[in-house]
Amino acid sequence: MAVCVAVIAKENYPLYIRSVPAENELKFHYMVHTSLDVVDEKISAMGKALVDQRELYLGLLYPTEDYKVYGYVTNSKVKFVMVVDSSNTALRDNEIRSMFRKLHNSYTDVMCNPFYNPGDRIQSSLQINTDLTSACHRGASQRSFHVRVFQTCSWELPVSPHTAPEGLLVAGPSMAW
């Protein structure tokens, strides 16, 4: 399953980011943030290809010890990044692709919402995922987005808490005030 899903704007700031073990969210922030280097690199390499033949799916961006980071870029340069548990071998490229496609459809739905300003953070009711039906504030299209994201995210298997060497250091010394 995906442990983290992120939608990143053209200007490389997060529109939506959500990880399933919510307690160590910052780790995924860093992971997704650094993956943008690879995305940029791949996009610039792809730039030469013809626009209509362009593959939106970027494939594996980079593996870490515990996770694999996959990328997807829309024609409007909005990036989707998904982090999956590397121990989960059931996920093949095809599954990842279809997850991205679902995500892309949901994102399109959000963009269709007339109450959504492009560039704003995407509000998600995922925090209150116990009650999805009541959680929709901003219109039906967005609700479907939440539902789908929820489905994508909740396939199964929480992550084993192994940490990569750098992951160990993400937190650093406690920044207590």
Partner 1 sequence: MSVPDYMQCAEDHQTLLVVVQPVGIVSEENFFSIYKRISSVSQISVRDSQRVLYIRYRHHYPPENNEWGDFQTHRKVVGLITITDCFSAKDWPQTFEKFHVQKEIYGSTLYDSRLFVFGLQGEIAEQPRTDVAFYPSYEDCGAVEKRIEDFIESLFIVLESKRLDRATDKSGDKIPLLCVPFEKKDFVGLDTDSRHYKKRCQGRMRKHVGDLCLQAGMLQDSLVHYHMSVELLRSVNDFLWLGAALEGLCSASVIYHYPGGTGGKAGARRFQGSSLPAEAANRHRPGAQEVLIDPGALTTNGINPDTSTEIGRAKNCLSPEDIIDKYKEAISCYSKYKNAGVIELEACVKAVRVLAIQKRSMEASEFLQNAVYINLRQLSEEEKIQRYSILSELYELIGFHRKSAFFKRVAAMQCVAPSISEPGWRACYKLLLETLPGYSLSLDPQDFSKGTHRGWAAVQMRLLHELVYASRRMGNPALSVRHLSFLLQTMLDFLSDQEKKDVTQSLENYTSKCPGTMELITLPDGLMLPPVPFTKLPIVRRVKLLNLPASLRPQKMKSLLGQSVSTKSPFIYSPIVAHSRGGEERNRKTDFQWVQGDVCEVQLMVYNPMPFELRVENMGLLTSGVEFESLPAALSLPAESGLYPVTLVGVPQTTGTMTVNGYHTTVFGVFSDCLLDSLPGMKTSGSTVEVIPALPRLQISTSLPRSAHSLQPSSGDEISTNVSVQLYNGETQHLVVKLENIGMEPLEKLEVTSKILTTKEKLYGDFLSWKLEETLAQFPLQPGKVATFTVSIKVKLDFSCQENLLQDLSDEAYLGDTVGSVPDNHNGISVSGFPLCSPFRQVVRPRVESKPVNPAEGSRPGDPGHVKTLEAILNFKYSGGPGHVEGYYRNLSLGLHVEVEPSVFFTRVSTLPATSTRQCHLLLDVFNSMEHELSVSARSNEELILHAGECQRMAIQVDKFNFESFPESPGEKGQFANSKQLEEERQEARGLEINSKLDIHWTIPSLKRTGEASVEGLLNQLVLEHLQLAPLLWDVLVDGQPCDREAAACRVGDPVRLEVRLTNRSPRSVGPFALSVVPFQDQQNGVHNYDLRHAVSFVGSSTFYLDKVQPLGQSACLGALLFLYTGDFFLHIRFHEDGSSKELPASWFCLPSVHVRALEAQA
Binding mask 74-113 for partner 1 (x = CB under 8 A): ----------------------------------------
57 binds partner 1 (CB under 8 A): no
175 binds partner 1 (CB under 8 A): yes
Size of the site for partner 1 (CB under 8 A): 30
In angstroms, the CA 21 to CA 145 distance is: 20
* Category of 175 on φ-ψ map: left (φ > 0), alpha (ψ -120 to 50) or beta: beta
- For residue 133, what are the CA distances in angstroms to 102, 144, 153? 20, 10, 17
52: its two tokens: 């209509």
Nearer to partner 1, 31 or 82 (CB): 31
Which listed residue (21, 59, 63, 158) binds partner 1 by CB under 8 A?
Answer: 63
Burial class (CB in 10 A: 0-12, 13-18, 19+), 142: buried
Least separation in angstroms between residue 162's CB and partner 1 is: 13
In angstroms, the CA 49 to CA 36 distance is: 20
| Helix or strand holding residue 29 (H, E) | helix 25-46
11 binds partner 1 (CB under 8 A): yes
Which listed residue (62, 138, 150, 162) binds partner 1 by CB under 8 A?
Answer: 62
Least separation in angstroms between residue 105's CB and partner 1 is: 25
Contact predicate 50/42, CB 8 Å: no
Least separation in angstroms between residue 17's CB and partner 1 is: 8
In angstroms, the CA 67 to CA 64 distance is: 5
Which listed residue (21, 59, 118, 119) binds partner 1 by CB under 8 A?
Answer: 119
127 binds partner 1 (CB under 8 A): no
Cα 29-37-21 angle, rounded to 5 deg? 20
Residues that bind partner 1 (CB under 8 A): 9, 11-14, 17, 25-26, 29-30, 33-34, 36-38, 41-42, 45, 62-63, 65, 119, 165-166, 169-170, 172-173, 175, 177
